[in-house]
Structure 1
Amino acid sequence: MMISVLVSPAPPEGIAPTFGWGTFAAWDSDLYRNIVINGYSYDFSRNEYLVAFFPLLPLLIKAVMFLGLPFEIAGFLINNLAFLGAVLLVYNWVKELYSIKAARWATAVLVWCPYSLFGTVIYTEGLFLLFSTAALRAFQKKQHFWAAIWGALATATRLPGLAIMFTFLIVSWREKRSLIAYIASLCSGGGLFLYSLYCGMKFGEPLAFLKAQKAWQPAQDFWGQDWLKMFMQVLVGSRNWKAGKIVDPLHIIIVLLICLGAYLLWRSHLKLGQNKTQFGYCILAIILWLLAGSPLINTVTILGGVYLIWHFRAQLNLLATYGFCSFGIIFSSGRATSAERYTYAIISVSIALGLLLEQYPRWGYPVLILFGFLLASLAVRFSQQLWAG
């Protein structure tokens, strides 16, 4: 990102990049800076929706800034160190649960996934991955006190952390755990409950963060409009979807040819052999990606994550329950904005993909190469303050 700032020209729709720690602060980072410096505000008449962002990251940044570090360095250090801690924790936990090969693949997925960018800039991904993984690991080991502590920190980091509490309650009931497990489950939501109490005391609205999040995003004509838009951008193309009619027939023709090619590969896979068939699928996938771009990546990330958790549900157990609860929260809003980034923060998805690539390592290497390319692309976009997720 630092190198791209030095060599990249100013993008037409972005901001001319400047060399420095500010490279890692854009979009939500600027809002966290506002919270750290000016505190929370809640005023719809002036479009002040800062309460939508949970308090743990601003509190930690504020604490580190007392040591004399500026906002950019404090936020960068906190999220990167937390992300490093999450990576090490995931590696050791997956090695305990499955195998060292699964641990290596899961760690590689977590690090090279394009959305790992948000574990290195001033966002909450690093903190959330660390605390949610620590909470799940502690609960799996029946360390209920630590599960409650880590869970409370996760729910103080971002709203999807509420999936941890639901997961703990479901698992406690399914495994017939003792009363202490239920108490720990409820305490894991302590971060959200305390933030709700703060909003009630300061703004007279305990659910101010929910109302702010709804106001933050544009209204939809119907539930799931964003999802339909994303799917149709892949199938018929962004230009056709935006115009409401076919203005770019070539996109539709190419998609149909790709579908036909995939069908022919499936019909001829015995004659072609495994290597040629897999190579053919890779070529078709690359063509579709070049055609559809980000909507395809986002669609595959989200729906692929759901499928992987379902496919490995017996092996994942607790992690599968957490994955389904997390996706339930993501889908409940009916909005697709940043859903791919929220999917990445569901640690169950990275572990499930690690289990898959352990079984099919031949697919793992091209997947990681693609991940690396997309990660570099997103990093350059973010450094230019262009939308990255």
Structure 2
Amino acid sequence: MLRSASRTVLLVALGAFVLCTVLVTLAARSSPEAYSPAQRAWPDAPTLRGWVRFDSGWYADIATDGYFYSPGRMSPVAFFPAYPLAIRGLGLLGVDPFLAGVVLAALCGLLALVLFTRWASLRAGDDAARDAGLLLALYPFAYYLYGAMYADALFLLLVVGAFFLLERGQLLSAVLLAAVATAARPVAPALVFGLVVRRLEWKHERGLRWEARDALTLLAGLGFVLYMLYLWRAFGEPFAFVKAQSAPGWDQTPGWRTWLKVHWFQGFSRQMELADGLRLVGHAAITLGALALVWPTARRLGWGYGAYTLAIVGLPALSSKDFMGMGRYLLAAFPLFLTLAVLLRERPRLRWSLLAVSAALLLLLATAYGSGAYVS
């Protein structure tokens, strides 16, 4: 049976899921010219066309046709295998890959919110957990937890599950979940780093000594390593996912131009549209806000969660040429939502105002996404 905090968050999340789905459907119906990878298979299904946008097509192609790598060109190797493998698993049962991708995202997203609330209860009590769950459920980019065909919902579920099990002392189960998570997105060092530090801290809090079995946390990166080995064997290039991101079209080439965000500054001009300016400023602002919460997270939740959030925010922020996608990536920085909830406990008016603004932005961005606008 769900606790009160989890029930509240689940009910709100279900409401957000329904509203986002309705808005995405209406937006897709009113923008039939907007491209969706699902439009050939589902031309008369605006809900699927609305939820299946942009990189969703890569996941569907991997699930049905596997990987290929073309040096210097955009290639599916940039996308890690856990999510498309899950889609392929449903495909073996006769489920269409686009339908499977949307259903998986929605189910994983709702489960992740419930599990996140339970984890937050362990760390800060039910009241703070409820507030944190609401902040995450109504986060402006939470529509990626309600059906958008991306890997973020699955990744969040696995990462929260790994830390939840670690808090309960179930080390092996935590490591197994984490290993699957590191095969879902290319931020394995953040998760491994966070788990190792948190395990050390967890044992210190209980007056326990470090044992050889605690080194199992290092195996959390096994999914990442296995994918690199696959790329090496299949294409002779273990870092093909990095090189693919550097291809024209994505242009995420490691180097000083990316690290100093030269492309972000170049994006501003007198001819730019308002939506483009808001997108550039919005993603940068939310990244800086997340980084500002890293230290409070370390102080209130522990060094393990501080280390994890610093890495999970810092790695994509450093590798992005213009901060685009950071709103979506920050879903994985789940401890920040609990930290924010704790900071706002004595400021109820500010908390409710933030939730209201966040919910309004969530519905607005879900509508834009469903219409085919590039918002993250």
**With structure 2 as the length reference, what TM-score do the two structures score?**
0.81
Is the 8 Å Cα contact of residues 24 and 72 (structure 1) preserved in structure 2?
A: no
- Are 2:279 and 1:294 equivalent residues in the alignment? yes
- Are 2:87 and 1:61 equivalent residues in the alignment? yes
Structure 1 window deviating more from structure 2 (354-363 vs 117-126): it is 354-363
Question: Any stretches of 5+ residues in structure 1 without a counterpart?
Answer: 249-288
Note the C-alpha offset of 1:172. 4.5
Note the C-alpha offset of 1:173. 5.2
2:259 to 210, 217, 224: 224
Mapped partners of 2:85, 2:61: distance in 1: 12
| 1:1-389 correspondence to structure 2 within 5 Å | 1-6=24-29, 8-9=30-31, 14-15=34-35, 19-44=46-71, 47-119=73-145, 120-172=147-199, 175=204, 177-182=210-215, 184-215=216-247, 217-218=250-251, 219=253, 222-226=257-261, 229=264, 238-240=268-270, 293-317=278-302, 318-333=304-319, 335=321, 336-389=323-376
Change over 3 Å in CA distance of 1:334–1:381 after alignment to 2: closer
Computing the radius of gyration over CA atoms, which structure comes out larger, 1 or 2? Answer: 1
Equivalent residue letter for 1:112: L
- Over residues 36-74 of structure 1, what are the superposed CA-to-partner deviations in whole Å (9 max), with x where a residue is unaligned? 1221010125x2421010001111101111212111221
- Name the counterpart of 1:284: none
Mapped partners of 1:86, 1:48: distance in 2: 31
Which of structure 1's runs of 4+ aligned residues deviate more than 6 A?
A: none
Is the 8 Å Cα contact of residues 61 and 71 (structure 1) preserved in structure 2?
A: yes
Is the 8 Å Cα contact of residues 112 and 157 (structure 2) preserved in structure 1?
A: yes
Mapped partners of 1:53, 1:290: distance in 2: 27
Root-mean-square deviation over aligned CA pairs: 2.7
Mapped partners of 1:385, 1:356: distance in 2: 36
- Over residues 78-127 of structure 1, what are the superposed CA-to-partner deviations in whole Å (9 max), with x where a residue is unaligned? 11111111111111111122122211111111111111111221101111
Mapped partners of 1:378, 1:111: distance in 2: 14
User: Number of paired residues?
Assistant: 334
Question: Any stretches of 5+ residues in structure 2 without a counterpart?
Answer: 1-23
Note the C-alpha offset of 1:227. 6.9
Residue 312 of structure 1: SS of its match in structure 2? Answer: helix
Residue 246 of structure 2: SS of its match in structure 1? Answer: helix
Note the C-alpha offset of 1:139. 2.2
Change over 3 Å in CA distance of 1:103–1:227 after alignment to 2: farther
Is the 8 Å Cα contact of residues 28 and 371 (structure 2) preserved in structure 1?
A: yes
Equivalent residue letter for 1:2: T
**With structure 1 as the length reference, what TM-score do the two structures score?**
0.78
Residue 159 of structure 1: SS of its match in structure 2? Answer: coil
Alignment identity in percent?
A: 25
Mapped partners of 1:155, 1:22: distance in 2: 29
